[in-house]
Each structure stands twice: as structure tokens, then as C-alpha cells.
Structure 1
Amino acid sequence: MSAEIICVGTELLLGDILNSNAQFLAQQLAQLGIPHYYQTVVGDNVERLKQVIEIATSRAQILIFTGGLGPTPDDLTCETIADFFGVPLVERPEIIEDIAQKFAGRGRVMTPSNRKQALIPQGAEILPNPTGTAPGIIWQPRPEITIFTFPGVPSEMHRMWQETAVPFLQNQGWGKEIIYSRSLRFWGIGESALAEKVTAYLNLPNPTVAPYAGKGEVRLRISAKASSEQAAEALITPIEKQIKDIAGLDYYGADDETLAAVVGQLLRVSKETLSVAESCTGGGLGQMLTEISGSSDYFWGGVISYDNSVKVRLLGVNPEDLDKFGAVSATVAEQMAVGVKTRLLTTWGLSITGIAGPTGGTDTKPVGLVYIGLAGPNDEVASFEYRFGTMRGRALIRHVSANAALDLLRRRLLTR
């Protein structure tokens, strides 16, 4: 048995609303051990919605709909489902009473259009909505098909799922096994290169291992199906250790850990401090560091030296070197790192200078060229050149540059 998620709403197709409902439901199905292989987004159109239902009923036994339960003419989910299965809609007086009470509680009078939300397929059970006016349904129009409908509002859908849908599914025998996942995070290695290193693990039956990439990093998701989270952990842990051993320093953390958090913990343990000097990232590196609660223990501050005069006056960059090598150069990156470390009296100084684009590039210094400087104890100073390319776009070049700087410091702290 498997489930299919069907999200209804033209606004989803137009990109006006992020489809977070599908992500939530996918995670919840995994926790219940219910496999699902397809997700569909369809607009507010009766015929296309019927086509989606026909396909879904041929390959899944649990159909979960979100959206299209409102009072307006384009809210078509319930009536289309009923029509597809050849069942009439019936008005449920208890739904009308619930809607009227909710309007009264807000000092308003229920409008006639809201009566539409009381129409559900004959034989369906009401899936209560404690906070909104649109109830859902739980319905088995055929012995092998179970249908759930939810409003599109995420907060309403989440509560209805947890309070009613989950107990129903558990009573049907689901939830005896779960699918539990851990995501391993890597920086400094490409997806294909990492996949080649761990290719022996990519065809395991349980747990499974799958790579995916985004925003400069690569992740490996290890998923196990077991009777409990503890049992799943026992399956995942040895595979996780073996992959970490293979990846070495390219592995930096798991699940929600960020490079900023990992670097911060290393600095806290070593009782060392950090300051940053930024040009093309415009404070993005400092923002990443200060997003971590308690980062004042090790992060003392930074300088956004966007203009060359700031590099000279506040960071002590040699103006002659600026003229000779340019602001985007190894020499200037090193002087920026030393300057901020010296002036803020920290153990480490990190600097970033580059061309984030889309303008400003030349043949010798193209968009995506970035230099990162690192200054440390005992007059240690070094610079590193990156060429992130023009296709990434300004925002991504800035994001990757800041993370690359953190990764450089992480590797240095781990290998000294």
C-alpha cells in the first residue's frame, strides 16, 4: 500500500505560494512508515483534477488532498471527488453549526457562500478543522481506496493531520514501522565525486543512501525502515561511520548543522576568537556566524569594507597594493584578514573579496572570482582563490563564498 499527495490550487502552479504542505505530508508519511512515490500539483480545474484522481487511484491506495476546500467557486476539490466516484454531495448541518459558531466567536455573521463548505460526499466522515471553517473528509469510496482532504492553510492542515488523520491511520495498522533518515553534509567535494567514493553504498536495500546537492554543498541521506527510531538508528549508525571515514574532512556535519555552527563549536572548545572582513559578501559571513545563539563567546565582530577607502583606513590595506593588484587579489585578501584580526584582537581573522556580479567582471578577473584570506596565531596568513563561475548568480556566489570561508577555517582548526 502506498500514498499519493495531491495539492490543488492554481496559485501553486503559478509559484505564488510555496508548496510546504507536500513537504510536511511527505515527512509525516515517512514517520508512519507509509511509502509514497508520487506528488501531484493541479490547478483549479475540474477535468484536470479528475484526470489526476484517475491516475492516482491506479497506483496508490491512500489519496491525500490539500487545497480547494474554501467557499469560493474555484474551490472544487470535494465536488470533483464526489463526481468522479459518482456519489452525491450532502449538506451536513453539524458543519454549518460549527462554521456559524466560529464566525460568531469573531463577531461576524456567516455568509451564504460558506454553506458550500458543509457539502461533502455521501458516506464520507467529517475530518474536523478546529481552527478554520473548512473541514476535511475521510472517505473510502472503494474498499481499496482511502481519501483524506485538508484545507490548504498549513497551520490548519498540520493540526487536522496530527489530531485526526494520524490516529485513523494508526488504527488501520500503520505506524508499526517508521522510515527514519539522517542527512550527512559535505563541503569541498562535488556530488559526482562523492557518489563515486561511496558508490558501494548507493544500492543498499535498508538503509538506503542517496546523494543530492544544493547551494555549494552535497548531502547524503541515509534512510532506514524499522519498528522504532532506535532500531532505525542502529541500522544507520554503522553506515554513517563508514561514509564519514571515506569522506574525511569533506564531511562537516549532519541534519541541521551548519558550517557556522560547526566552526563556532570548534572555536568555543579551543577558547579562540574570530573576526571577519568582508567586501563582496556585504556582511553575509557575519550574519551566518551571529545566527548561532551564544556566538558572542567566540565571534567578536567584523568590518564590511565595501569601498577601498575602508580597506585602507580601517583594515590597514596598503594603497599601493590596491593600485597594483586590485581589490580582488590574494595580497589584499591577506591584508584584510591580518588587519581585522589585529584591530579586533582576535585569534583568527577571515576575509572575503571578490566579484559577485553580474557586472564588474573582466577577462582577467571574471565574475565569480573570489579570494579568501585567513590569518591566525603566530603570524600565520594565507589566501585561497576560488572561481565560482558566472552562472551561479550574485546571491549564490555570495552565499558560497561565505561558506567557503567558514570551511577553510574549519579545516585549519581540525588539522593544526
Structure 2
Amino acid sequence: MTADWLSLDVAAGARGPIILTKNGVEGLSAQDGSTLWRYHQEGAEYSPLPDTPPQQGNGYLVTSPDRRHVAFVFDRQAGAHESEDSTFTVILDTVTGEISGQWERHVSFHLQLTNSAALIDSEAVSLEDGSHLWSLDSIPEGSENHYTGTAGRSTFILTLREPPEGSRSVTGLVLVPDSDPTAQTTMQGVVLDPWPLRHDGFTVADGWVVRRTPDQRLSAANEPSWPTEAANIDDVAAAGSQDGVTAIPLGQTTGINLAASISSGMLVTYPAYEEEEDDSIDPPSTEPHIGWIFAPSTRTAVDGRASAMPAAASTGLSLKETQDDQPQVSIDVVTADGSPGLSIPVPLTSVSAPNKDWDNYPPQDVYGDDHPSWLLRLRVAPGCVVVLLDADNASDRRIHTYRIYGASTEVG
């Protein structure tokens, strides 16, 4: 499958990957990559969402924690009898492809999903029937939706608190149950990625986030690393307090690895680095970039440096020969524990620069703005791993063609 770069995103649905291209949204089978359903709207221009994490370039898709729903926004130019352009927010059922709801707005800024509701700017709507639930306009001033992305199973994130002065690695979250926007709780000490090129620097995995341990939560912390734990925002919102909820120790870390977390659907931390360079836009290049991995489905944490999980995998490219001695590019997905990984053959006729030095991209951890070479994107979906190759990486063209590959897996 191929897709153009300017409107491309990949998300994990309930049955496999969800692909957005300029032509619409498709649900793919995790077993064979066949199309399960397709959404197309004539004349639609799909809009990148603000403040979304660097998933596959720009972020266009937002999924619910259970992956049962996916939301996106498109613009449509005004017709002959219309006074202005329109913006539509659409939510689909990822199992069937049916429309769960569609709302017209003249502008749409922020969008987040729980398992049963969506918060579209200031309005909460039901994912079951699209009905209006409540509006932030009706509660005290200062209650605004400033987050875009997957929320908790039953909890929305209203506001990100400013980090302590001198720290770019921690924030606070204002949480509300999706059934009651007046029941607000602040969760302090949520750990950020110190090196994102775009986005606020944190992510939610099935309701879980990484936070500092209680004794470190409010520290201004110019320390290079701190003890951390995984905690659930649904538990915090339900309890009305950040204290006393179940927390899973994650050890010492310099921050959350945002790109690896998003691509895997888990929580991945950086290791504890000895020093943090405040002006650096990337973590230390000579150090590992995968620390601990927390799997929400099992509520367990493992050392990612000795794990077979795709969350700890490194990706790269190499040049190999076919059985008839013809050169071809290979996408290499290498596991951290040395167990067999993936090797995906790519004919040289599929890339725009067959003479490129394809051996110059050894496997690297996923970090920073997803992958340092900008050639590869990785996404874990139920039953499969999806890899995207920028076939026009050597080209100066504004629109790039991506080759999309999938491999079955029991992980994810």
C-alpha cells in the first residue's frame, strides 16, 4: 500500500491499523492487510490536529483508550449557496467503520476521547448515540479543554499546569470524569519528554501516565533523573485525590520517551542519564534511549533494554541481495533482547533513489521526533506491527510517497 505524506497518519484500531490518507480513512485487517472498511468524503481536506504528538508526522487521528473509536477533522470549502467554509469532526467505530457521530463547526481546536465520550472543544458528546452530554461553558471560568489526544477510559484532561520554574520535564494535569465536569482533580508530577520537537511532551496509555514518586512530585528539580511510577488518571479522578491510588514503580528516569510510547501504545521511559543538557534538542546520542516499559494490559513493568517487545525495538535500513544476486533494501526491526526480529524486503524499484547509500541507516531506537533518519515510522496495532518507509526521502518534493508494510505479531 502507498500513501502521500501531507495527509498521512496511522493509529491502532480494535481489529488492526487505521490508515488516513488524502483519500479517506481505512480500517485494515491485522492478519492480511486487507481493507475491512473505508470512509471517504468527497472534497474533504483532512486537518492536522493542534498539539498532537509526533506519531507519523502530523497527527490527524485520535483513538479511544479501548481503540473502539477513532476521531478526525476535515475542512470543506463553502459551496455556491454557503457563506463560509465548514469544519467537521467525525467519529467512526473502528470495528465496523460506521459513523458514531458527525458535528459541524466553523473551527475545531481540541479533541479527546474516552471509551464512552468525546470532548470536542468545550462540548462533551456520547460515543453511543452522538448526543450532547455537557459543556464546559456552563462551569466556572478557567475550565478549558487544552489537550488533544487519547484521554483516560472515563476521564478527560482539561488543562496542563505550568511546570515548576527551571524544569521542562514535569507538569500537572487537571482531570474530570467524563460524566461530571465539575468534579475536578489535579494530578501533579506527570513526567514529560524533555526533547519533543512538537507537543506538550506527555502521553496517556489506556488511562496510565508516568509521574514522579510522591516525594519528588513538586520538586523544581534540576536533577537529571528522578524515581518514577505509572499511575492511572481514572483512579485519580474517581478518588478525587492523587494520593492512595495504585502505582507501579518504574525506577529512575530522565523522562518519558514520547515517540516510543506513542508508537507502541505503552509507556516507555528514557534511562537515567547522568546529565541533562538544557539546550539540547535530542537525548544523548551515545546512550540507550529505552529504559523501562509499562504494559497497561498486564500492569507490569519490564526493563526495555532486555525485552522482545516492539516498544523496545530499533529500526534501520540495510542493502541486501536477493537469491538471484539483485540488490534490494531491507527494513530491519531489531529486538532489544536479541531474539529474532523482522526483515522486510523492499525492491529498489519502490524507492525514488535506488543509488542512495541504504547501508548508512543502522538500527536505532525510536525517540525524539519518532526516528532520527525520518525514513521510517513504526506503529504497533492489535495483532500486527506496521512500518512506513519514506520512499521519497531523497526527493525535494513537498509530497512524499510512503510504502506501508505490516507483519503479524502477538504483541500489542
| Structure label with greater radius of gyration | 1
Q: TM-score, normalised by structure 2?
A: 0.25
Q: TM-score, normalised by structure 1?
A: 0.25
Relative contact order (alpha carbons < 8 A, sep ≥ 6): 1 or 2 greater?
Answer: 2
The structure that is strand-richer by fraction is: 2
The structure that is helix-richer by fraction is: 1
